[in-house]
């Protein structure tokens, strides 16, 4: 049965291509949406760019017929602009001048003529108001990742026979050598994803463990677990996997996606490996460490702020400075004895060009070569922004996306629709991407931080 989907403006602002994402169903754009797009077309940044793109799509459809009567789409559906339903009465408390309520009026009006009618909006409040009015409403799900408990973690546990366990370091394992067990103890085969990390357990003594990685054909031992990048040693299994992913060359692993709660050393370890690659190898692996950190105003113009580009975005980089303080002086007793000296060491890293900081909207449209590109707080990216960053990778560049999908500042994103989760789902299984999800038990910031992560 064909359905009628009514699209809110925020769907097109995040995904202009959404007009082609509803198969052979009917799409309706209320006049209020067209007016909002017109008001946003001159906006700076991605919001304005997406509004203009959506308008260009509408122009291409207008050229094929009358939009108010409906035009056919390539997928078999139709698209039309709805200019009627202005006389539909809303309950008291729903003022007519608000565009959200004008969209709801269209939904109510079409319910009397067409069925089923579904409002698609990324605004949770509008979905709540729709429910109050008896209107079916849903989020735009094309870019949704699975629910958090079902998302890919980049690791798994598996059993192997005692003999194969002892031979692992000398002889690689086949996926058929591994098994898992269900609640009844029955053996089950293990389905592995390329570059998935594996915690191997001897079936006769499950306390014995070894760590490996599935390279797409076989399980191989970790190459870097005994390394100490910039003097840092992994303290748990998650950090060993993290170290393996980060220390792999840009040719083998040009993309690393790391998810985890606060305090699991995501940023700290990423910077440690970056400094190791730049300063401790005989020949630096990269030209520089380029760090960026979006916030909810990813594309806001920063030109009015004083100073150069690095100084403009300095407030967003305080977490980097905090981690560099721990890395450049690892003597905990003496670290803060001379604050001026400590600050000078960090400033030197920026002055020498070893570390650079840039706003993400300046990275778009460029080809970034031989760079260790770190994007912290990547859960605040939209899927389109995540794609735009990953596709900037030139030869020799390694991109690291860090973040916690549980801590999102963008009001139109959630743990399933943010760019970090979207990229993790789409890049799952790529031979060029390593992924690691840190567990709550792997919080190393402090006993209090660990306790808070587990309790709150």
Other beta carbons less than 10 A from residue 87's beta carbon: 7
Structural contact between residues 64 and 71, judged by C-beta atoms closer than 8 angstroms: yes
- Whether the pLDDT of residue 94 is over 80: the answer is yes
- Residue 250 and residue 373 share a domain: yes
Is the Cα dihedral 240, 241, 242, 245 positive or negative? positive
- Residue 148 and residue 133 share a domain: no
Domain range spanning residue 194? 143-221
Q: Look at the chain and report how many structural domains it folds into.
A: 3
Q: Examine residue 226 and state whether it is found in any structural domain, yes or no.
A: no
Higher pLDDT, 257 or 357: 257
- Residue 426 and residue 316 share a domain: yes
The two tokens of residue 58 are: 């509408």
Closest to 278 measured CA to CA, from 378, 350, 335: 350
- Residue 302 and residue 271 share a domain: yes
Other beta carbons less than 10 A from residue 350's beta carbon: 18
Closest to 388 measured CA to CA, from 377, 399, 396, 403: 399
Q: Examine residue 227 and state whether it is found in any structural domain, yes or no.
A: no
- Residue 70 and residue 203 share a domain: no
Q: Of 79-88, 249-258, 276-285, 440-449, which gets the smallest average pLDDT?
A: 440-449
Nearest-angstrom CA–CA distance, 285 and 269: 17
Last residue of one domain, picked from the residues 119, 138, 157: 138
- Whether the pLDDT of residue 78 is over 80: the answer is yes
Angle subtended at Cα 44 by Cα 42 and Cα 47, rounded to the nearest 5 degrees: 85
At residue 314 the predicted structure's pLDDT band, cuts being 50, 70 and 90, is low
- Residue 98 and residue 27 share a domain: yes
Last residue of one domain, picked from the residues 159, 194, 221: 221
Structural contact between residues 299 and 44, judged by C-beta atoms closer than 8 angstroms: yes
- The values of phi and psi at residue 251, to 5°, are -75, -40
Q: What is the pLDDT of residues 166-200, one digit of tens each?
A: 999 888 999 999 999 988 888 999 999 999 999 99
Q: Examine residue 414 and state whether it is found in any structural domain, yes or no.
A: yes
Q: Examine residue 109 and state whether it is found in any structural domain, yes or no.
A: yes
The two tokens of residue 68 are: 């108010």
Q: Examine residue 397 and state whether it is found in any structural domain, yes or no.
A: yes
Terminal Cα-to-Cα distance of the chain (whole angstroms): 45
- Residue 366 and residue 324 share a domain: yes
Q: Examine residue 15 and state whether it is found in any structural domain, yes or no.
A: yes
Amino acid 334: pLDDT:
60
Interior/surface letters 247-286, b for 16+ CB within 10 angstroms, e for the rest:
bbebeebbbbbbbbbebbbbbbbbbbbbbbbbeeeeeebb
At residue 296 the predicted structure's pLDDT band, cuts being 50, 70 and 90, is very low
Other beta carbons less than 10 A from residue 7's beta carbon: 24
Q: Is 422 helix (H, G, I), strand (E, B) or coil?
A: helix
Query: Residue 213 maps to which CATH number?
Result: 2.30.130
The two tokens of residue 357 are: 């900081």
Nearest-angstrom CA–CA distance, 68 and 211: 61
- Determine which helix (DSSP H) or strand (DSSP E) holds 326, and give its type and residue range: helix 318-328
The two tokens of residue 212 are: 């490996």
- Residue 89 and residue 133 share a domain: yes
Query: Residue 34 maps to which CATH number?
Result: 3.40.50.1010
- Determine which helix (DSSP H) or strand (DSSP E) holds 167, and give its type and residue range: helix 162-167
Query: Residue 309 maps to which CATH number?
Result: 3.40.50.300
Last residue of one domain, picked from the residues 106, 138, 170: 138
Angle subtended at Cα 356 by Cα 351 and Cα 359, rounded to the nearest 5 degrees: 135
- Residue 24 and residue 159 share a domain: no
The two tokens of residue 406 are: 């549980």
The two tokens of residue 97 are: 């001048």
At residue 29 the predicted structure's pLDDT band, cuts being 50, 70 and 90, is very high
Beta-carbon contacts of 41 under 8 Å, excluding residues fewer than 6 positions away, are 48, 51, 52, 55
- Whether the pLDDT of residue 320 is over 70: the answer is yes
- Residue 172 and residue 82 share a domain: no
- Residue 393 and residue 263 share a domain: yes
- Residue 29 and residue 13 share a domain: yes
Tell me the average pLDDT of the chain.
88
Amino acid 168: pLDDT:
93
Question: Token match 């291509």: residue?
Answer: 17
Ranges of beta strands (E only) in 97-184 are 117-120, 136-138, 155-160, 179-181
Q: What is the pLDDT of residues 191-215, one digit of tens each?
A: 999 999 999 999 887 788 999 999 9
Structural contact between residues 161 and 155, judged by C-beta atoms closer than 8 angstroms: no
Q: Examine residue 51 and state whether it is found in any structural domain, yes or no.
A: yes
């Amino acid at each position: 049965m064909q359905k009628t989907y009514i699209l809110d403006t925020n769907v097109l602002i995040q995904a202009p291509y959404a007009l082609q994402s509803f198969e052979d169903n009917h799409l309706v754009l209320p006049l209020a949406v067209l007016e909002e797009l017109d008001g946003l077309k001159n906006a700076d940044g991605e919001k304005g760019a997406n509004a203009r793109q959506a308008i260009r799509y509408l122009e291409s459809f207008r050229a094929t017929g009358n939009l108010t009567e409906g035009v056919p789409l390539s997928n078999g559906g139709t698209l039309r602009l709805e200019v009627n339903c202005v006389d539909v009465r809303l309950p008291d408390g729903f003022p007519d001048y608000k565009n959200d309520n004008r969209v709801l009026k269209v939904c109510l009006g079409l319910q009397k003529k067409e069925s089923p009618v579904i409002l698609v909006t990324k605004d949770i409040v509008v979905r709540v108001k729709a429910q109050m009015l008896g209107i079916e409403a849903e989020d735009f799900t094309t870019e949704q990742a699975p629910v958090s408990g079902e998302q890919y973690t980049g690791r798994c546990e598996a059993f192997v026979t005692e003999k194969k366990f002892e031979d692992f370091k000398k002889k690689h394992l086949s996926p058929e050598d591994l098994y898992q067990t269900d609640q009844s103890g029955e053996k089950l085969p293990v389905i592995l994803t390329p570059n998935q990390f594996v915690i191997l357990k001897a079936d006769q003594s499950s306390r014995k463990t070894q760590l490996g990685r599935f390279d797409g054909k076989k399980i191989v031992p970790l190459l870097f677990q005994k390394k100490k990048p910039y003097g840092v040693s992994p303290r748990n299994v998650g950090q060993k996997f993290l170290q393996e992913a980060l220390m792999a060359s840009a040719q083998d692993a040009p993309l690393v996606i790391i998810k985890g709660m606060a305090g699991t050393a995501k940023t700290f370890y990423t910077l440690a490996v970056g400094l190791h690659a730049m300063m401790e190898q005989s020949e630096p692996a990269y030209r520089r460490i380029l760090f960026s950190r979006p916030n909810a105003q990813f594309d806001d113009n920063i030109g009015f702020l004083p100073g150069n580009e690095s100084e403009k975005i300095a407030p967003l980089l305080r977490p980097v400075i905090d981690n560099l303080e721990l890395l450049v002086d690892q003597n905990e007793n003496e670290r803060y004895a001379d604050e001026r000296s400590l600050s000078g060491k960090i400033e030197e890293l920026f002055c020498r060009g070893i570390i650079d900081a840039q706003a993400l909207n300046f990275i778009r449209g460029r080809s970034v070569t031989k760079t260790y590109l770190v994007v912290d707080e990547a859960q605040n990216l939209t899927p389109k922004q995540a794609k735009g960053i990953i596709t900037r990778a030139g030869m020799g560049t390694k991109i690291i996306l860090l973040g916690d999908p549980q801590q999102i500042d963008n009001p139109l994103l959630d743990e399933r629709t943010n760019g970090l989760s979207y990229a993790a789902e789409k890049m799952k299984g790529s031979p060029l991407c390593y992924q690691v999800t840190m567990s709550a038990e792997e919080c190393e910031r402090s006993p209090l931080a660990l306790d808070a992560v587990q309790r709150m």
